[in-house]
Every structure is written in C-alpha cells, then in structure tokens.
Chains A and B, each alone.
Chain A
Amino acid sequence: MSLATNLPRVGEGNINLVQLSYRDYLSVEEINAIEHEVAILGQRQAAGIEAMKLVQKNRGWISDDCLYAVADLLQMPASQLEGIATFYNLIYRQPVGRYVIHLCDSISCHLTGFAQVSEAIKEYLGIDYGETTSDGMFTLLTNACLGSCDKAPAMMIGEDHFEHLTPQSATDILRQLCAENDKDELNLRE
C-alpha cells in the first residue's frame, strides 16, 4: 500500500482518513540517523537533504512514499521537500539501475576525449542519458567536473571513481561490473 495513494484527495471529503505515519515507511535505523542530523543542525527542516541522502542510500532512489515519510518526520510540507529534492543533482526522484554511471561532461574531460568515451558507453549499454538498461543494471547520467581534471576523462559509479578513461577502458569497467553481478547472483542461487 502506498502512502501517496492514501492521502486525502480534494473533493473526496473523507476527513476520517488516517494520516499514515513516517514510522510505517522508515526503518528505526533511518529514523535514528535522521534524528542525529537534526540534533547537529538544531532545526528539523535543515536535515532534509541529509535525510533524503540517507534514505536513498538504502533504497536507491526517493519514491513518493519516501518523500512524504521524510517530510512527515521533519514536520515540513512535502511540496517544500520536493522543491529541495528536485534541486539537487544527486537526489534521484526516479528509479535508477543497480549502478548509476555519472560521466563527467565538463571542460577538461571535453578537451581530452569525453565524446568518444560517451559514444562507447552509450553504444555498449544501448541507452542514452537519463535512461536505465532494461535489465535494471545501469543508469547513465552526466556529472559536472569530478575533480579529476588532470586524469581526464573521468566517471563516477556509485562511490567509485574511474580516471584516464578510454572507450576501451570505460566499457571494460562496465563489463567487469556485469560479470561481478552475475557471480553474485550465482552465489545467491547456490
């Protein structure tokens, strides 16, 4: 059951609808971690960005349910939190693949071979920017300068950074991730 679909709708006039609590959607660990941030900043709403990052780390992306739950916990309007969620590049408001590829498209990478690496990755995955592969493995996004300009072109996958990319090395990295994933699944099945 989704929290979003349970919110009272305009015109329904159903004032008895139970307001679902954040406790139904966030784990105790998540709530504690968010409350820790609140304590540091001293204001509940100030923890919104940290809260969404924490929840996203566990769940991959920020669904409507998560957004409502975090807003409830921080005692702020969901619309305000949505305005914040959509402002920041690293908060995902759509489902993403298991690996999110952030290829740097800023200037030093542009000067040193971004275009060729970009073409190779798009061709290998068969998707364009903003899309996810049909097997749910990869989402492809760009990123502003990753601070690897002297080792350009560069990309970030999850928390891992890769530098000195060539079309060959970039697709090799993706191939490697696929192989590891297959191995994981095999282990799980056994």
Chain B
Amino acid sequence: MTTDKPLTQHINQDKPLAMPEYIDVGGYRSVDKILQQMSAQDVQDVVKDSGLKGRGGAGFPTAMKWSFVPKFEDTDPRSGDDKYLICNADEMEPGTFKDRWLLEGVPHQLIEAMIIASYAIGANKAFIFLRGEYHLAAKRLQQALDEAYQQGYLGDNIRNSGYQLDLYLHTSAGRYICGEETALINALEGQRANPRAKPPFPQVSGLFGKPTIVNNVETLCNLPHIINHGADWFKQLSNNDDAGTKIYSVSGRVQRPGLWELPMGITVRELLYQRAGGLSPGLNLKGFLPGGASTDFLTVEHLDLVLGYDEVSAAGSRLGTGGIIVLDDQNCPVAMVLNLLKFFAQESCGFCTPCRDGTAWAVDALTRIEQGQGSQQDLDNLHKLCDFMWLGKTHCALAPGAVEPLQSALKYFHDDFEQHIDKGCCPYSGHH
C-alpha cells in the first residue's frame, strides 16, 4: 500500500507512535531491506535515481553529495577512518517550522532514515543536531533513540548484520548560524559556530577532520519511503521535475496558517488560497517570501508560479525551505524588511566585515526610513549594501541571505520606501 503523503502519514502530534506501533505500520522495514539485500552503493544508486534534492534550502542533489565521501580500498590505511552523518535539525530560519512537525510527530522515521543514510556513506557514528528551543522534540527523540537501541536497530551488530551505528542527540544553545553546515560542525566540536572556509568540503574533511555528511531533517525522512517503494514511485509523487513531496507552510495574516505535505511543484495560488484559505478578512495580498526569511520577495503577479526549485529561481527568488511568509497590505513592507535585517544582524557570527557591519548598517538605514527620518542617501546606501554583501564577498551565505529580502523589497516596494522618506513618517501606522 502506498500513499501520496509518505512523510506525514504517521504523524501524531499529541502522541507519536512508540517503536512497536511504528513497526506495525511498516516502520524500520527499509532498514531490514538494506541490511539483507542491498550494498551501500545500491542505496546510493536508488537515491540517485529517485532525484531527491536537499530540503534544507539549497536543493542540492542528495546522492551527489553523498558520492563525494571518499571510498577507500580495503588495503588503504584510511579505509578504517571514521565517517559521520549529521542531521541538521537546527531549524531557525524565521517562518520555517516544517522540521519541528516531523521531529515531534514521528521521531522514529528520522532514526530509520538516518540508519539508511549512515549505511550508504559507511558511517558508524551519527548525530542529530537539534536547536535548543525544541524541548518537546528533544524529549521524544531521546525516547525513540532509547527504544531503537533496546530493539537492536542501533548499536553494535544491528539486526545481526554486522553493521554498527551509534546515533546521538545533541541539543544546541541557540544561534541561527549553527544551521550553516560548517558552522554546525564547529558547534558540534564545542567551538564558536563560525563557518569554515570551503574547500575542503565537509564530505572530505568535516567533523574532527573526517568525512561528514550534513543533511536536513526533511531530506532524510524521505529515505525509508524511497527504499521501500523505489525511485519511480518517488518521482511520480511530484507535479514537476523535482521528485517527491514537499512540506509547504504558510504564516502571516491568512485565514488558516499551517503546514501541508503536498506534491512538489504545486502553485502559490493553490497553497495560499486552497490550503491557507487566503488572506484574513479585510486584508489583501501585497507580497510574500516563498521559502523563509532569506528568500527574495515575490508579489501578486507570481500567484501562478510553480513552487519548484528551478521555477522559483527563474522568478528571481528561491524555494528555500518552502515556508511562505505572507505580507498583507496593512503591514508595512519597510517594517517587515527591518525586522528581517535585525534578525540577520543579530545572528551574524561577526567573522567577516561585510556581514557584521553591513547588516548593522542596513538596520540603521531601515530604522531611519521606517521612523520617517530617512533620506535618499539611506536608500542609495541600502542598494550599495546589497552589492557589498552579495555572494562571493562574504565568508558564508548568511549575508547574501539577508540581501535577498532587502534587494527584492527595494525593487517591488520602491514606492513605499519613497513615501516614508517624502512624508517623513510611516504611512502604515501614521507615527512620526
């Protein structure tokens, strides 16, 4: 029996399935299958054929990432070296709350998935890097981990296969930059979470200098279903060229904010109006961020846009995390961008100058404009900052992520910025 909602079919937010119940509905079957019938390469191949792309924001093909982990001949002295799998459960991108649903609602699915991924890359040690604020998820994951150890799905000689995997939960102490994969590795090593320079890429030299794969929660949770039902099944779930389903979400002032697992490649209109019920009474749509705080604004003209990786990029933004944040016509766009930039300024790790100072300057200029004390000079400076903080000029992708909503707001909501400056006040609140 197959489903069109593989990721969320067994979610129970109030009381997630315990291990025996989860096994009763088919859980951990994929682990038995790979251990008995498939080599690590077989697993990599089926994931490659499935077309699975990373759901952490960048959409990088998962099997390709795995393939960069070195494979040594048995005779090579490095063949016995440690390798690590890390699940990125740091979800701190404002307006993104999909991983929390999977972590709290069906923790065993993630553990099952991580056994598959670890086996595929030859790792014997894996970590779940969970943001510190997700207390309920931490409790449920730890309980699920304990059960999996007791039932012989984790630890030495899993299911008498000879394969060994230790899986640990690490809870973070709160910092957005920890979600960047090399910063995450530093955090796991107990250091300040400054991102590392690449290359070397973590796939070659990551945690404690060993080959390391970092994958997002949602990415990983697809694996058991790909193993069970195959690559072709996975591909036919979607409406576009991206395979599988996607957990989309909508927040802001809409009738029914929430989360939905839907075929990859539905339209903005379907998500916003059929699922989220449209804007709250009396409000109209002004714009939206399609995939979390660090994506470019889109507007009313993009309602029929298909929410796939290539399609959203072609429209000048990114699918990102699939978390739509709606701007209505009675919330001030300048205030919205100011809020976003404050977040990035606060969460900048401070390592590189363009990001540390640029985000703070942007906050200063936006504050002046929002308070009615801004000038054309401020507006010009904001445009310049978008250039100074762009890709290739900063140490990591945090600052470019801050630029995306800023540059697109300057483009689409130009009149609003001008009005703030001309009138000397915020036209949305009337305060001076």
Chain A positions near chain B (C-beta within 8 angstroms): 40-43, 45-50, 52-53, 83-84, 87-91, 102, 105-108, 110-112, 143-152, 156, 159, 161
CB distance from B360 to the nearest CB of A (A): 17
Q: Give 18 A-B contacts (CB < 8 Å), ordered by A residue.
A: A40-B168, A45-B191, A49-B172, A53-B171, A87-B192, A90-B133, A90-B172, A90-B173, A90-B174, A91-B173, A108-B257, A111-B252, A111-B336, A112-B253, A144-B343, A149-B95, A149-B323, A150-B97
Task: From A50, A107, A143, give the contact of B170 (CB < 8 A).
Answer: A50
CA of A61 to CA of B258, assembled, Å: 35
Task: From B176, B187, B335, give the contact of A49 (CB < 8 A).
Answer: B187
Given contacts A49-B173, A144-B346, contact A149 B94 (CB under 8 A): yes
Given contacts A87-B193, A111-B327, contact A149 B257 (CB under 8 A): yes
**B261 on interface, CB distance cutoff 8 Å:** no
Residues from chain B with Cβ under 8 Å of A49 in the complex = 172-173, 187, 190
Residues from chain A with Cβ under 8 Å of B100 in the complex = 147
**B325 on interface, CB distance cutoff 8 Å:** yes
Residues from chain A with Cβ under 8 Å of B190 in the complex = 41, 43, 45-50, 84
Top 6 nearest A-B pairs by Cβ distance?
A88-B173, A89-B174, A149-B251, A150-B257, A106-B94, A46-B190
Residues from chain A with Cβ under 8 Å of B171 in the complex = 50, 53
**B175 on interface, CB distance cutoff 8 Å:** yes
CB distance from A30 to the nearest CB of B (A): 17
In the complex, are the beta carbons of B249 and A111 less than 8 A apart?
A: no
In the complex, are the beta carbons of B249 and A149 less than 8 A apart?
A: yes
In the complex, are the beta carbons of A52 and B173 less than 8 A apart?
A: yes
**B134 on interface, CB distance cutoff 8 Å:** yes
**B92 on interface, CB distance cutoff 8 Å:** yes
CA of A143 to CA of B173, assembled, Å: 12
Residues from chain A with Cβ under 8 Å of B347 in the complex = 144
Of the candidates A43, A84, A147, A150, the one having the most CB atoms from chain B within 10 angstroms of its own CB is A147
In the complex, are the beta carbons of B208 and A43 less than 8 A apart?
A: yes
In the complex, are the beta carbons of B95 and A112 less than 8 A apart?
A: no
Q: What sequence of 0s and 1s flags, for each residue 343-355 of chain B, a beta carbon within 8 Å of any chain A beta carbon?
A: 1001101000000
Name the interface size band of chain B.
35 or more
**B96 on interface, CB distance cutoff 8 Å:** yes
**B293 on interface, CB distance cutoff 8 Å:** yes
In the complex, are the beta carbons of A107 and B174 less than 8 A apart?
A: no
In the complex, are the beta carbons of A108 and B325 less than 8 A apart?
A: yes
In the complex, are the beta carbons of B249 and A106 less than 8 A apart?
A: no
Chain B positions near chain A (C-beta within 8 angstroms): 91-97, 99-100, 132-136, 168, 170-176, 187-193, 208, 249-253, 257-259, 289, 293, 323, 325-328, 331, 335-336, 339-340, 342-343, 346-347, 349
CB distance from B129 to the nearest CB of A (A): 11
In the complex, are the beta carbons of A150 and B176 less than 8 A apart?
A: no
CA of A53 to CA of B342, assembled, Å: 26
Residues from chain A with Cβ under 8 Å of B340 in the complex = 107
Chain A, Cβ-Cβ closest to B189 = A46
CA of A151 to CA of B173, assembled, Å: 23
CA of A144 to CA of B92, assembled, Å: 7
CB distance from B161 to the nearest CB of A (A): 23
CA of A107 to CA of B133, assembled, Å: 17
In the complex, are the beta carbons of B134 and A108 less than 8 A apart?
A: no
CA of A27 to CA of B181, assembled, Å: 35
Task: From B96, B250, B343, give the contact of A147 (CB < 8 A).
Answer: B96
Chain A, Cβ-Cβ closest to B134 = A147
Given contacts A111-B325, A149-B257, contact A106 B95 (CB under 8 A): yes
Seed contacts A110-B335, A151-B257; 19 additional CB < 8 Å A-B pairs:
A46-B188, A46-B189, A87-B175, A88-B173, A106-B95, A106-B293, A108-B251, A108-B325, A110-B339, A111-B252, A111-B327, A143-B174, A144-B176, A144-B346, A145-B94, A149-B94, A150-B249, A150-B259, A159-B135
CB distance from B130 to the nearest CB of A (A): 11
In the complex, are the beta carbons of A147 and B132 less than 8 A apart?
A: no
Residues from chain B with Cβ under 8 Å of A53 in the complex = 132, 171, 173
In the complex, are the beta carbons of B193 and A145 less than 8 A apart?
A: no
Task: From A40, A83, A161, give the contact of B192 (CB < 8 A).
Answer: A83
CA of A50 to CA of B170, assembled, Å: 8
CA of A152 to CA of B257, assembled, Å: 9
CA of A37 to CA of B158, assembled, Å: 23
CB distance from A40 to the nearest CB of B (A): 5
Chain A, Cβ-Cβ closest to B135 = A159
CA of A152 to CA of B258, assembled, Å: 11
CB distance from A39 to the nearest CB of B (A): 10
CB distance from A137 to the nearest CB of B (A): 21
Chain A, Cβ-Cβ closest to B250 = A150
CA of A177 to CA of B391, assembled, Å: 47
Task: From A46, A90, A105, A149, give the contact of B97 (CB < 8 A).
Answer: A149
Residues from chain B with Cβ under 8 Å of A151 in the complex = 257
Given contacts A47-B190, A88-B173, A89-B174, contact A107 B132 (CB under 8 A): no
Of the candidates A42, A84, A88, the one having the most CB atoms from chain B within 10 angstroms of its own CB is A88
In the complex, are the beta carbons of B252 and A112 less than 8 A apart?
A: yes
Chain B, Cβ-Cβ closest to A149 = B251
Task: From A43, A88, A143, give the contact of B189 (CB < 8 A).
Answer: A43
